Amino acid sequence: MIKGKKISENITRDIINAREKKWKVVLPESFKIFMLDNNGVIPDERITIETGIALEKFLCIVPAIAESPNATDDIDVVITKYDEFMVFDEDSVGPDLIPFARLSGDKLLCLCYENKNPQIAVWSFEGSEDFSPNYKKVYSSFDEFLSANNIK
């Protein structure tokens, strides 16, 4: 668990599984556990992804978007906001990039489903176009991201 300010809304495995089905992906088990423990947390300690890119806050999953004060940071809301900028081609059946953290410089940290096993990528709105996201892979897995940043 990360020390920091958390949102007051708790989620369940059923809520995460429903999102997984909606997004048409298989989320890493470690990601699901992380979300259950750290939904929407703003870390107390600085997490640096790359030189000049810091993690500002983790996104959340809320049970009812329409009723939540945290809706703007809900992963589904962020995916909807950037829609075609988060898929690799128009034949994608769901988002190819699943954002899970806001980064400095108007960037997002995402699960990247370019392959069956998702890697972690930094996505930037700047330079992204419809069906051509601007992203750079930075970790080979969610577990590597957790380990590299001493997140338990």
CA 84 to CA 107: how far, in whole Å? 16
Joined together, the tokens standing for residue 145 give 């991201």
Tokens 């004060």 map to which residue? 69
Average pLDDT of the residues in 121-130:
96
| pTM of the model as a whole | 0.96
Domains belonging to the chain, first-starting first, are 4-148 (3.40.1580.10)
Q: What is the pLDDT of residues 50-97, one digit of tens each?
A: 989 999 999 999 999 999 999 999 999 999 999 999 999 988 888 999
Determine phi and psi for 127, rounding to 5 degrees. Answer: 90, -10
Q: What is the pLDDT of residues 56-68, one digit of tens each?
A: 999 999 999 999 9
pLDDT at position 142, please? 98
pLDDT at position 74, please? 98
